[in-house]
């Protein structure tokens, strides 16, 4: 009994031929073939008649390729099913002993029931299991078997017209094949099929054995489909024909090649060699086609071919393709095997190397080395490390020893110990408590900022008296560019502390402050722990930038997370989510920066000491530009102080008309722009002077130096590049005269560097190698000219570039700002106010005019893109102005009978705030009493309905704006006297400031005393 399992890579392949061969049967050509002799020598026994049956699966419900995995078929069981009746049939025969059953021959079946094949045709002599889902067809086949009608017609099912059979999945075909019935199914079947014997039926699996070729003629019955068939025979052929013999032997030779490279075919051949007897040409062709991996149409083509020679040729093509496929498969398998074996070899060698090093004591394993490293780190700071940290360290280290190095928990524990041991537990830098040295450092880096410097010196003084210092939280607020961030670095240098900065602008994740939980992939500690590891000390200065721009998202509220960090009473036990051990931050000095403090949450603002930096006035900017910005820019541009001079008038013009903002960042950009242009001018001027000097010493030599043409450069690039021209070249004339004329006009910026530009024009489109050699030779010529100039006048000084008001526009362009003062003398109804802006402060005019006048037409129309608060201030001002006018001039009904229009200029700029109330009242009263306001007067203050003046903010900015507009008299609320007194003397110098608490005082200052006749 033979059992054969067909491998999965041969899914959809037919089984081996089934035939009976008497012992020793052969024909002349076959018996002499080498393959036949090998097969006969491998036969395990002789003299025995054997029926060889093998199957390959072509299950119609398979979802892959051309069939399922091969099934086991018992050859003996199949033989008994074919030639002996079943147990049930034996009982029926016994019951009807009067009837002698006869088994019909295959050629007697002219009408057969159709079994459609979805994937591949069935070849004569091969087994095929077919899964039938049509219950009616399955029942009819079972009934036929009971009646000893065990034959059916197996016909291949056609695909949809225009469909590539190699692209249609078996699942789709299996679903649709049994939907066709009757004539439609008859038309979708190939004309030529195989007469198949039903060997057995197991469930819905029907095992078919191919016998001979059939041709369907016509339909006999629709359901189940029964057709009339014609039995086909092979066309006669001459066995001794040389062409047929040659084709036959080529098939044998090709099969031998397939056996060499395909292990699957070798297994088939071994089994085949045991059972083959007679092997005709036609059956050899069927054998090769049945085992090939060709698609069903090519196999059907072999089945339909009755000419043996043509069938052999078709099979030969299929086997040739099989060889190519097996070669590709073998190369892929070899490449994968080499890759895997190489990696395995490398891994084994590495493991052996580790084991050898470990035995020799040269290296320990990973866990031992890591444990030693972590313990060495913690031992150096064990005396200063808190006990709870040491306890956690020992626990985590013990856990690390128990974990496998390949586990994910091992990496988590290793990273945790790395962070835990890298922090500076108890390591503090030596602080500098020298007040005078700190004052010197702060003055070196920043001009002004007396409030900030005073606060830092107080901090140092307290630390000197106590012998130690505690961390503080300072918030520097002010407009951009005033030096908030840079002052933090200077404070760290003055205190001899490490400096670390991080920005929280737009931060919306609490984990950035307090760290991630260790359970998350890629978890890390927060910014504070990262800072401590980076600086290596436990008392750094941490600058938290842009604290007023904190975000808030789904990951929590970072402002609330900062409450613990910036609270001096809580941060001594700051708990990071990643480390999960308390950290002492009480020695850390926190400096926060903000542009506005209104957007900072109140609980967070309450924990910080706010120091306002209002900005710089013109005098301060002049000092900063001279002492800091110019010096740094000169060094960055490589310009010597004696080569350039920026006059004070030019610097003042630059500050007033180009850089009016409160900070100095834009001023630094403009100074850098000026010095870049000066650097370009100096280089061009130096080249021109050196060329002129060389021309005066060796005029003939320079006459020979002219720009070569592009053709000359290309011709000479492979040889020695020559800059000499022929005597007939007119371009070489008067070079000396041109250089002399150019040196005389050197002060004209348009003419500076013409010679240099001419040299630049000599650039041509060459290859990279040519360009390199041309550049080297040009540079050698230029160096020669410069050397000549140095010999002629080595001590010749380059003229100094002077920047003054007259040529400032050439360097920085047209002015950006214009004077805030629109009127030299404000007309009736116009009053100058003072406003705070992001640029530091500005003057603001309030204009009021009469629209129309008539009995009962009193109204007020407001424009100027005003906010709600400012609109309310205008309404309050209108009411207060009517009351004051009624008090001062009772007989004047101006406001009752006049429609007024109040406008605040610069309509594109949004404006809001209550501090323009007193200015609006003054503007309305000026129009009502038809009297001008003092020429050099500006005011600010919020007014109530009773005329009281309330305090305002931005005193310094508004004072600076008044000075910029050359205002000498300023009116402030009385409650702001303290703010004004805190200003530096240079800001208050030359100003006549009045502090009022009622509008009647403003009325006297603005209009003086009036009588009824004037009104």
One of 216, 587, 911, 958 is an active-site residue; which one?
958
Is 551 among the annotated ligand-binding positions? no
449: left (phi over 0), alpha (psi -120 to 50) or beta: left
Which residue bears the tokens 């006549």?
A: 992
> Which residues are CB-neighbours of 586 under 8 A, at least 6 positions away?
470, 471, 568, 571, 572
How far are the Cα atoms of 240, 402, 967 from residue 839, in angstroms, in the given order?
110, 63, 19
Number of alpha carbons in the 13 Å side-chain half-sphere of residue 762: 21
Structure tokens given for 65: 């390729």
One of 62, 915, 923, 926 is an active-site residue; which one?
915
The conformation of residue 860, written as its DSSP 8-state character, comes to: E
Does the active-site annotation cover 915? yes
End-to-end Cα spacing for the chain: 135
| Distance (Å, whole) CA 662 – CA 976 | 21
| Distance (Å, whole) CA 758 – CA 319 | 77
Is the separation of the CB atoms in 574 and 564 below 8 Å?
yes
- In sequence order, which ranges of 612-749 are alpha helices (DSSP H)? 618-624, 630-637, 648-657, 665-697, 699-704, 710-716, 735-744
Strand partners of residue 499:
541
| Distance (Å, whole) CA 697 – CA 736 | 10
Does the active-site annotation cover 408? no
State whether residue 268 is helix, strand or coil: helix
Is 280 among the annotated ligand-binding positions? no
Is 118 among the annotated ligand-binding positions? no
State whether residue 755 is helix, strand or coil: helix
Is the separation of the CB atoms in 544 and 491 below 8 Å?
no
**Per-position DSSP letters for 573-612, written without gaps between them:** GEE-TTT-SEE--TT-EEEEEES-STTS-HHHHHTSEEEE
Structure tokens given for 521: 């992939």
| Distance (Å, whole) CA 224 – CA 222 | 6
| Distance (Å, whole) CA 195 – CA 182 | 20
Structure tokens given for 341: 């074996």
Is 288 among the annotated ligand-binding positions? no
* Interhelix angle 868-888/917-929, nearest 10 degrees: 40
Q: Which of 888, 878, 841, 775 is nearest to 987 (CA)?
A: 841
State whether residue 324 is helix, strand or coil: helix
- Classify strands 859-863 and 898-903 as parallel, antiparallel or unpaired: parallel
How far are the Cα atoms of 70, 638, 642, 683, 685 from residue 680, in angstroms, in the given order?
86, 11, 16, 5, 9
| Distance (Å, whole) CA 307 – CA 319 | 18
State whether residue 999 is helix, strand or coil: helix
Is 302 among the annotated ligand-binding positions? no
Taking every pair of Cα atoms in the chain, the longest distance, rounded to a whole number of angstroms, is 156
Is 485 among the annotated ligand-binding positions? yes
| Distance (Å, whole) CA 947 – CA 917 | 10
Binding residues for ATP: 478-485
Binding residues: 478-485
Active-site residue numbers?
Answer: 915, 958
């Amino acid at each position: 009994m033979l059992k054969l399992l067909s491998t999965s890579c041969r899914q959809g392949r037919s089984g081996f031929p089934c035939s009976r061969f008497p012992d020793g049967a052969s024909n002349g050509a076959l018996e002499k073939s080498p393959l036949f002799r090998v097969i006969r020598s491998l036969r395990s026994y002789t003299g025995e008649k054997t029926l060889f049956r093998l199957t390959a699966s072509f299950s119609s419900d398979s979802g892959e390729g051309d069939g399922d995995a091969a099934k086991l078929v018992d050859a003996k069981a199949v033989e008994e099913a074919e030639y002996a009746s079943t147990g049930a049939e034996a009982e029926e025969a016994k019951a009807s002993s009067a009837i002698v059953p006869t088994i019909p021959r295959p050629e007697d079946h002219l009408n057969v029931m159709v079994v459609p094949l979805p994937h591949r045709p069935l070849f004569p002599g091969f087994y095929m299991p077919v899964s039938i889902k049509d219950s009616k067809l399955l029942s009819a086949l079972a009934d036929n078997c009971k009646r000893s009608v065990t034959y059916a017609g197996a016909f291949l099912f056609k695909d949809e017209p225009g469909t590539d059979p190699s692209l249609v999945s078996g699942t789709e075909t299996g679903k649709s094949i049994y939907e066709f019935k009757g004539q439609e199914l008859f038309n979708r079947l190939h004309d030529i099929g195989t007469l198949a014997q039903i060997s057995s039926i197991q469930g819905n699996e029907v095992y078919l054995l191919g016998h001979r070729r059939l041709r369907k003629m016509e339909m006999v019955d629709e359901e189940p489909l029964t057709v009339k068939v014609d039995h086909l025979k092979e066309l006669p052929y001459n066995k001794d024909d040389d062409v047929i013999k040659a084709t036959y032997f080529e098939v044998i030779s090709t099969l031998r090649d397939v056996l060499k490279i395909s292990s699957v075919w070798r297994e088939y051949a071994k089994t085949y060699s045991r059972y083959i007897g007679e092997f005709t040409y036609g059956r050899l062709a069927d054998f090769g086609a049945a085992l090939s991996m060709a698609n069903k149409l090519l196999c059907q083509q072999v089945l339909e071919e009755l000419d043996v020679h043509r069938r052999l040729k078709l099979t030969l093509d299929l086997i040739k393709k099989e060889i190519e496929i097996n070669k590709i498969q073998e190369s892929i398998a070899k490449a994968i095997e080499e890759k895997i074996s190489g990696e395995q070899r490398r891994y084994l060698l590495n493991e052996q190397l580790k084991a050898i090093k470990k035995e020799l004591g040269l290296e320990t394993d990973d866990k031992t080395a890591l444990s030693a490293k972590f313990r060495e780190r913690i031992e150096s700071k064990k005396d200063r490390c808190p006990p709870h940290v040491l306890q956690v360290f020992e626990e985590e280290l013990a856990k690390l020893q128990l974990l496998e190095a390949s586990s994910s928990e091992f990496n988590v524990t290793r990273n945790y110990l790395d962070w835990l041991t890298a922090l500076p537990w108890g390591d503090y830098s030596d602080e500098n408590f020298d007040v005078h040295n700190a004052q010197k450092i702060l003055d070196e880096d920043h001009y002004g900022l007396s409030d900030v410097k005073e606060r830092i010196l107080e901090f140092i003084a307290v630390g000197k008296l106590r012998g130690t210092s505690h961390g503080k939280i300072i918030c520097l607020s002010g407009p951009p560019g005033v030096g908030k961030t840079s002052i933090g670095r200077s404070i760290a240098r003055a205190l001899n502390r490490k400096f670390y900065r991080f920005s929280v602008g737009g931060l919306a994740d609490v984990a950035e402050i307090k760290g991630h939980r260790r359970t998350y992939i890629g978890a890390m500690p927060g910014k504070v722990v990262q800072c401590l590891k980076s600086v290596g000390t436990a008392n750094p200065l941490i600058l938290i930038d842009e604290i007023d721009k904190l975000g808030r998202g789904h990951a929590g509220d970072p402002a609330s997370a900062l409450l613990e960090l910036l609270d001096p009473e809580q941060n001594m036990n700051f708990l990071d989510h990643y480390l999960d051990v308390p950290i002492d931050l009480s020695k850390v000095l926190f400096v926060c920066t903000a542009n506005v403090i209104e957007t900072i949450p109140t609980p967070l603002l309450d924990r910080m000491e706010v120091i306002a930096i209002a900005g710089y006035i013109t005098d301060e900017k002049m000092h900063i530009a001279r002492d800091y910005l110019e010096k740094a820019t000169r060094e960055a541009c490589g310009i010597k102080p004696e080569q350039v001079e920026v006059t004070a008038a030019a610097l003042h013009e630059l500050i007033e008309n180009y850089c009016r903002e409160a900070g100095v960042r834009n001023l630094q950009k403009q100074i850098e722009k000026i010095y870049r242009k000066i650097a370009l001018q100096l280089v061009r001027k130096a080249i021109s002077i050196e060329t002129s000097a060389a021309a005066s010493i060796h005029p003939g030599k320079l006459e020979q130096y002219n720009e070569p043409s592009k053709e000359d450069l290309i011709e000479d690039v492979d040889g020695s590049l020559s800059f000499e021209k022929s005597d007939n070249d007119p371009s070489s004339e008067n070079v000396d005269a041109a250089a002399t004329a150019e040196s005389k006009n050197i002060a004209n910026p348009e003419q500076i560097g013409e010679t240099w530009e001419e040299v630049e024009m000599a650039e041509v489109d060459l290859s990279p190698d040519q360009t390199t050699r041309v550049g080297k030779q040009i540079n050698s010529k230029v160096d020669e000219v410069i050397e000549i100039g140095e010999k002629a006048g080595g001590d010749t000084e380059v003229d100094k570039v002077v920047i003054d008001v007259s040529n400032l526009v050439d360097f920085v362009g047209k002015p950006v700002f214009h004077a805030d003062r629109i009127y030299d003398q404000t007309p009736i109804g116009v009053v100058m106010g003072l406003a705070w802006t992001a640029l530091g402060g500005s003057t603001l005019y309030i204009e009021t005019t009469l629209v129309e006048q008539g009995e009962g037409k009193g109204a007020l129309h407001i424009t100027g893109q005003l906010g709600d608060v400012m609109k309310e201030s205008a309404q309050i001002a209108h009411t207060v102005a009517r009351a004051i006018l009624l008090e001062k001039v009772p007989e004047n009904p101006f406001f009752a009978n006049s429609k007024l229009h109040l406008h605040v200029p610069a309509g594109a700029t949004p404006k809001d705030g209550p501090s323009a109330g007193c200015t609006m009242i003054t503007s309305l009263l000026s129009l009502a009493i038809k009297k001008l306001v003092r020429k050099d007067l500006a005011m600010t203050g919020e007014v109530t309905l009773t005329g009281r003046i309330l305090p305002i903010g931005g005193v310094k900015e508004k004072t600076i704006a008044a000075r910029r507009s050359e205002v000498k008299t300023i009116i402030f609320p009385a409650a702001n006297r303290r703010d004004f007194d805190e200003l530096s003397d240079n800001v208050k110098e030359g100003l006549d400031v009045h502090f009022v608490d009622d509008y009647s005082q403003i009325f006297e200052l603005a209009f003086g005393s009036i009588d009824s006749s004037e009104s």
